[in-house]
Structure 1
Amino acid sequence: MDLRPELLPPPVDPERLTQVAREIERIADLAGSGGPAEEAVAAFNERTGHTYLPSDFAWYHASRGLEEFAREAARPARPRVADVTREELVEIVRRITADPAGEDADYYLLLFDCNTLHPRACDLIFRPPAGLEDASPGRIVDAALAYRPIAL
């Protein structure tokens, strides 16, 4: 199934990717040396719409590469699509499970998480509860869509 453009990972201009990567390295150096990273992180978050912490910069290299971090930071922080359909969510989960280490997998995970109410939607894919082990993308989406928050 083809996804409509607003559900596809937005392309990141190579120049912007380079600028964001440089800023990440600068903040990582500040955070690693005990410098005033908090102000730099706050300014970075203001520009990107994300909510990173100084530790995200100091230790990013332990879990991902600079280009991956820069691409994430250059893309929308909470990609919400108001009229996403069940079928589109199934395709998003299918793309995640088909290539969980792919270049766009993190964006699709974020998209799935932001467009369902389930508080741990991505866990349904990678740490499924009893009964959802080896579930199809459709069953995973149905479980995410079936979640209803408790009214307090």
Structure 2
Amino acid sequence: MQLRPELSPPVIPSDRINDLCAAIHSIEELLESGADASAEIAAFNEDTRHTYEPYHFMTYWSSRNVEDFALEAARPAWPKVPDVSREELVEIVRRIQSMDADTNYYLLLLETNTVRPGVSDLIHWPPPELVDAPPEAIVDEALRYRPVAL
């Protein structure tokens, strides 16, 4: 299934990625030297509309490279699509399960567009009844969740 543009990862120009990589390295160097990088982090967050903290700049390398961090920063922090359909969510889960190149973006889409806490656990650490379940069953379980009003 083809996803509509609002659900597809935005294409980020290489110049933008390079600029963000340079900013990440600059902030990382400031933090490693013990300097105050709060203004640079605030500017980075203002530019990217994310809420990164010093921790993110000091530890990103433990799970990804700087280009992946820059790509994440260049994309929307919370890509909410108000009218996402069940079929679209099924396709998003299918892409997550297939380890698509943009899996992290699709995980963010799933988390942002469903209300079930820990929805990614249904894929990565499923309850016994969802082990090896098709995407449709995972989405149905996610959509079945109803928050409790306090």
The TM-score, its normalising length taken from structure 1, stands at 0.94
> CA 1:33–1:75 in structure 2 vs 1: closer, same or farther (change >3 Å)?
same
TM-superposition CA deviations, 1:100-134 (whole Å, max 9, x none): xx431110110111000011111111111232111
Unaligned runs of 5+ in 2: none
Structure 1 contact 31–55 (Cα < 8 Å) conserved: no
Counterpart for residue 148 of structure 2: 150
Instruction: Tell me what 2:91 maps to.
Output: 91
Alignment correspondent of 1:14: 14
CA distance in 1, matches of 2:49, 2:5: 21
Distance in 2, matches of 1:83 and 1:74, equals 24
Q: 1:135 aligns with which of 130, 133, 136?
A: 133
Residue 116 of structure 1 aligns with which residue? 114
State the number of aligned residues.
Answer: 150
Task: Show structure 1 runs of 5+ residues with no match.
Answer: none
Q: Structure 1 segments of 4 or more deviating over 4 A?
A: none
Q: Determine what percentage of the aligned residue pairs are the same residue.
A: 54
The alignment partner of 2:130 has SS state of coil
Matched letter for residue 38 of structure 1: S
Q: CA RMSD in A?
A: 1.0
Structure 1 contact 113–122 (Cα < 8 Å) conserved: yes
Q: Give, in angstroms, the shift of residue 52 of structure 1.
A: 1.1
- The worse-fitting range, judged by mean Cα deviation, of 29-38 and 110-119 is 29-38
Distance in 1, Cα, partners of 2:35 & 2:126: 41
Give 3-state SS (helix, strand or coil) of 1:59's partner: helix
Q: Could you say what secondary structure the match of 1:131 adopts?
A: helix
Offset at residue 38 of structure 1 (A): 2.4
TM-score, normalization by structure 2 = 0.96
